[in-house]
Chains A and B, each alone.
Chain A
Amino acid sequence: MIDVLFPVPGKSDVETLVAELTATPAGGPLAVGDARMRAFLTAFGARLLSPAIARRHPELGSLGFFLRRVELARALDLLEGEHLRVPRGLVFHVPPANVDTVFVYSWALSALMGNRNVVRLSPRSGAVARTIVETLAKALRDADPAVAQTQRIVSYDRSEEATAAFSAACDLRVIWGGDAAVTAIRRHPLAPHARDLTFPDRSSFAVIRSAAWLGGTDPVLAAAADGFANDSYWFDQAACSSPRTVFWVGSAADTGKAHADFTLRLAAAISSRGWSVDAAMAVEKRVAAYGMAADGAGESITFHGNALTDVRLSAPSAMPRRWLGTGTFAHTRLADLSELVPLVERKDQTMTHFGFAKDELEALARALAGRGVDRMVPFGSALTFHRVWDGVDLPSEFTRMVTVSAQAPGSAARRE
């Protein structure tokens, strides 16, 4: 038996649950962009934007923003093309335990595309996940019954049978989480036609043009430092998109000055936000930074209080990709942006940037030619979810295309 959290809290078994989902709703099967689902998602998003929720869990405000009517419409518009879009069918979502909101983005886009969805929430999910489920239940009161019939949020602790059964039943399985979690879930076979969409461990970095930083105006630099702090500290720098290494591009002299100014402004931004780290985190950071020094990767370590630790790398190739504790940044210098190319790996996801023009970034993306880096976004945007994520167009992935060609009877006959 597994716990059902949505639409009606209770217990169920996988077979019953899949059978319920498979039945055709009273008003007909869900279509891509189904009006019943759009109304529900918009109502849910509006509730997330209510001051009471947004104050308690600011990340739910971002989610509410993502679910606005115009945003949903835009996601649908972009699917217009020569092929007809239909839902994939049953989508099984396995989000990570430690990021409470990511499952909603993935589920909401899938629901918008008319899919039947099962989301497996970890029993270790936190307060934010509970708020989300409660808010979904409230929004359901005014929704068409088709919503409740086609959507399930369940929770169970390491039930191999449940994961196996949902895997066998689904048309698309969406796995968010660590490499180990992805590998573990992939042991359960899918139906022959079904496929996986995986979002494994990723790592991110920042790039700053030293001369641009030195030439920046006070408000621009303050805003950049604040954006960088947001990108980094919001999820304890453990989000895939949070930068861990800062590459400075420019001369040694410029970089020295720019880095010093950046540090001051970042420290100010952190303290004005009231962000700090506790003793356990401070020790974690010491272990990580000292470890980098012991390995020869870190040449010098500077502590600016417990909240901000700078590690100067012995070489750009020593860039760390693992979590080093909240507020630990590895710094290194490149003479030119193109020097990034050999350093980048498939694991690298987001490159936050300051001081580069769009054509330079596009040139870099072309030169990378798929080695890695799926997003190049300005400081402050690292954590902003987009329907294209990890290089994957989610609305497109959540649909199938039907080729409809109204050919003349004669041409059809010729093929035979």
Chain B
Amino acid sequence: MSVFTLPQEAKEAALLPQLAAMTERHRRDCEPYARILSATGSAPPYGSVADLPWLPVRLFKTHELRSVPEEQVFRVLTSSGTTGQRPSRVYLDREAAATQTRMLAATMRGVLGERRLPMLVADTRAVVRDPTLSARGAGVLGMMNFGRDHTFALDEEGRPDQEAVAGFLAEHGREPFLVFGFTFMVWLYLRELEADLSNGILIHSGGWKKLAEQAVDNAAFRRHFAERTGLTAVHNFYGMVEQIGTVYLEGADGSGLYCPDFADVVIRDPDTWQEAPVGAPGLIEVVSTLPTSYPGHVLLTEDLGVVHGVDDGVWPGKRFSVLGRLPRAEARGCGDTFGAAA
């Protein structure tokens, strides 16, 4: 069952009542969230998904926001958090944790199929062994659920392990296999591979910042792998710990990121805060029905994005790109005001 089925109108009709109900449930069960809604004068009825009140995603760094009692918290997820910043804390109860795992699997099945595939990881096994699991490690560990016969392209010291890669391809290269890694790791360690990867399905994420410094964009990335290795089934994805389980997956043709049926995006004009028209860049608001144990169902990210089209791609719904990250606001002033503000 694919989770990329609903045209935009049907999706809105399906999501709006669920999200509106979630807003009221979180209002009832999360006191700080209720105070925010009260202070900003948010009240139903909400006429569209774009009318729902959103929270700035950074509030999960500054505040403890959960809609379940402490004793029902099953897992607390934390983001990597850039230096000097507190990490996000996301509280999952048993049900939310199970749902996010299930829905992530359903999303990945859309491109990987029903069976677990042999998996090549553009990373080192050490990254998942680190007792203080990094976001990168958690990402690799999470994706490993979708593969088998995991092979790491880097050895324990982080050096390219050509022997391991060659062995993997000799054994699995003639049938579909999964390649996973963070975008910059994939570029760094797999781009010079002289091998036939035409049966591979590459899933990658983590942003383009490090590659943009080398003037490599998504199109150049895809072109390089297609020409050099025959790898064309390339799926970038976009997601964040604050909406764990929801990933926006790139169509195999590179036409943009698509929203699974239980999620959507709204691009907001940062001047008017209204929804920006198709083609106009703005801040990405991510919407998902998965966050039931914390008020993360409608979040304004600090990422810039643009919707390229609606119901006009390989999957229905909005087709969008992430354009980059909003810089952190800086102020002149006396003292280390930034430290005080963080």
Contact = CB atoms under 8 A, between A and B. Distances in A.
Contact of B32 (A280, A295, A300): A295
Contacts of B326: 279-280, 283
A340 B65 CA distance: 33
Interface stretch (A35-43, A95-103, A223-231, A364-372): A95-103
A201 B336 contact: yes
Contact of A201 (B35, B65, B302, B335): B335
Given A283-B300, A288-B341, A306-B271, A294 B336 contact: no
Interface in A270-310: 278-284, 286-288, 290-291, 293-296, 298-301, 306
Contacts of B193: none
Interface residues of B, number: 34
B219 interface: no
Contacts of B331: 98, 235-238, 323, 325-326
Interface string B268-303: 001100000000000100000000000000001010
A326 B337 CA distance: 12
Nearest to A284: B329
Contacts of B327: 280
A365 B283 CA distance: 47
Q: Looking at A102, A237, A284, A311, which has the most chain B CB atoms within 10 Å of its CB?
A: A284
B125 to A, nearest CB: 37
Contacts of B328: 280, 284
B232 to A, nearest CB: 36
A290 B335 contact: no
A301 B334 contact: no
A368 B333 CA distance: 26
B59 interface: yes
B333 A325 contact: no
A213 interface: no
Contact of A300 (B39, B302, B332): B39
A294 B63 contact: yes
B90 to A, nearest CB: 16
Given A293-B39, A293-B40, A322-B341, A235 B55 contact: no
A178 B340 contact: yes
A290 B332 contact: no
B59 A180 contact: no
A240 B58 contact: no
A291 B340 contact: no
Contacts of B40: 290, 293, 300-301
A179 B335 contact: yes
B335 A200 contact: yes
Interface residues of A, number: 50
Interface string B23-41: 0000000001101101111
A296 B35 contact: yes
Interface in B48-96: 55-56, 58-59, 62-63, 65
A115 interface: no
B66 to A, nearest CB: 12
A278 B283 CA distance: 12
A177 interface: yes
A151 interface: no
A240 B333 contact: yes
Nearest to A200: B335
B42 to A, nearest CB: 11
Nearest to B326: A280
Given A201-B334, A290-B55, A294-B59, A178 B32 contact: no
A265 interface: no
A176 B334 contact: yes
B56 A96 contact: no
A258 to B, nearest CB: 22
Interface string B204-230: 000000000000000000000000000
Given A280-B327, A291-B63, A294-B65, A240 B334 contact: yes
Interface of B: 32-33, 35-36, 38-41, 55-56, 58-59, 62-63, 65, 270-271, 283, 300, 302, 326-329, 331-337, 339-341
17 contacts: A98-B331, A100-B332, A178-B334, A179-B336, A181-B335, A238-B333, A239-B332, A240-B334, A290-B59, A291-B59, A293-B32, A293-B38, A294-B36, A294-B59, A294-B65, A300-B38, A326-B331
- Shortest 4 CB-CB distances between A and B: which pairs? A238-B333, A178-B336, A279-B270, A294-B32
